[in-house]
Copies of this chain bind each other. A is one copy, B any other.
Amino acid sequence: MFDIAILGAGRIGRIHARNVAAHPDLRLKYVTDPNGTAAGAVAAETGAAVADIDAVLSDEGVRGVIIASSTDLHLDQAARAIAAGKAVLCEKPLDMDLARAQAAAPALGGDVPLMLGFNRRFDPHFATLKSRLDAGAVGALETLQITSHDPAPPPVSYIKVSGGLFKDMAIHDFDMARWLLGEPVTEVYAAASCLVDPAIAAAGDVDTAKTILRTASGKLCVISNSRRSGYGYDQRIEAFGSRGLLRADNILESAVSTWGGSAGAPGIASDAFQNFFLDRYAEAYRREVAHFADILAGRAKPSVGYADGVAALALAEAAAQSVATGQAVRL
């Protein structure tokens, strides 16, 4: 049984807190948050104590720290936790700034495990796709199509501090692309528009983008992003191999379809897609925490870590630069 602290009691912190509390090998000892009410609510629900980060880091019983605070705190908190000898599970993105993230290498790239919270790698559907791809089910991977559209845009107030579509939203897709491509991306081209809400453009961001990644061996990946879909959360992958295609489709709320009737038309209406990431990736979040438990127990090394966080951020910056210059960016 390993004692865990969670830094940050927001939406993601609460998810992790529940999954820690439910895991047989983990115990949630502390939760910290500048917002005492939020921290208190998580503490009440999970039996953890509210504490500040100093108390957490000086408690030698705490073996792991989950960093779910605001992005600007990630690097510093991770460095402090690692300095204190605590294994770290840090939410994405590592930071808003690639240079700062790279500069943290001495602090974060050492022997104390740092796992990065790219939850989609732990999704059972994408993990199935990855393992079949690796097993050669469709031969050698040639190209990828990643579709990642949100059901509806966040408030513009969030957009303004989000780091932009590429660092905030597409960062997951860049990591997914890297994971599946299996070799470094050497070139990035992104075309982007503001089609959903002019307020997003006014905030200096885009809401719709198509990005092409290219690797040294010529593998290609297209990422499609939109802040709004009109039909639910769209999270699909197609991996084209030399002998076939692997496809991960969206997940429906149930296997019930309606033919005619209230569906309003003849033909077949599926149930809705699982609406957003808290539903769609609920199992992924559980498996992510389980992997952290395995790391604490010495049963596993982090399958995704600091270097992955930096690399995804580099792709996000390259994509933003490509939009700004209108040209492809070599890495």
Interface residues of A (CB under 8 A from B): 22, 124-125, 128-129, 132, 136-139, 142-143, 145, 147, 149, 151, 187, 189, 191-196, 208-210, 212, 214, 218-220, 222, 224, 226, 228-232, 234, 240-273, 275, 326-328
Min distance, Cβ A190 to any Cβ of chain B, angstroms: 9
* Chain B residues, Cβ within 8 Å of A271: 128, 267
Q: Across the interface, do A259 and B272 meet the contact criterion of CB distance under 8 Å?
A: no
Given contacts A244-B230, A266-B232, contact A261 B143 (CB under 8 A): no
Instruction: Please report the C-alpha to C-alpha distance between residue A210 and residue B143 in the assembled complex, in whole angstroms.
Output: 9
* Chain B residues, Cβ within 8 Å of A125: 254-256
* Chain B residues, Cβ within 8 Å of A195: 142, 218-219, 242
Instruction: Name the contact of A139 in the complex, choosing from B220, B230, B240, B326 (C-beta under 8 A).
Output: B230
Q: Across the interface, do B137 and A254 meet the contact criterion of CB distance under 8 Å?
A: no
Given contacts A258-B132, A261-B243, A261-B245, contact A267 B232 (CB under 8 A): yes
Instruction: Please report the C-alpha to C-alpha distance between residue A266 and residue B252 in the assembled complex, in whole angstroms.
Output: 10
Instruction: Please report the C-alpha to C-alpha distance between residue A136 and residue B192 in the assembled complex, in whole angstroms.
Output: 23
Instruction: Please report the C-alpha to C-alpha distance between residue A305 and residue B140 in the assembled complex, in whole angstroms.
Output: 41
* Chain B residues, Cβ within 8 Å of A143: 208, 210, 224, 226
Q: Which residue of B lies closest to A242 (CB)?
A: B230
Q: Across the interface, do B268 and A270 meet the contact criterion of CB distance under 8 Å?
A: yes
Min distance, Cβ A234 to any Cβ of chain B, angstroms: 8
Q: Across the interface, do A267 and B224 meet the contact criterion of CB distance under 8 Å?
A: no
Q: Across the interface, do B212 and A230 meet the contact criterion of CB distance under 8 Å?
A: no
Given contacts A191-B187, A265-B269, A269-B267, contact A260 B226 (CB under 8 A): no
Instruction: Please report the C-alpha to C-alpha distance between residue A208 and residue B257 in the assembled complex, in whole angstroms.
Output: 22
Q: Across the interface, do A214 and B191 meet the contact criterion of CB distance under 8 Å?
A: yes
Q: Across the interface, do A262 and B244 meet the contact criterion of CB distance under 8 Å?
A: yes
Q: Across the interface, do B267 and A245 meet the contact criterion of CB distance under 8 Å?
A: no
Instruction: Please report the C-alpha to C-alpha distance between residue A258 and residue B269 in the assembled complex, in whole angstroms.
Output: 9
Residue contacts A-B, CB under 8 angstroms, 21 given: A124-B254, A142-B195, A145-B224, A191-B214, A193-B214, A196-B242, A208-B220, A224-B240, A226-B240, A228-B242, A229-B240, A231-B260, A232-B267, A241-B261, A243-B260, A248-B254, A249-B257, A264-B264, A265-B269, A265-B272, A269-B269
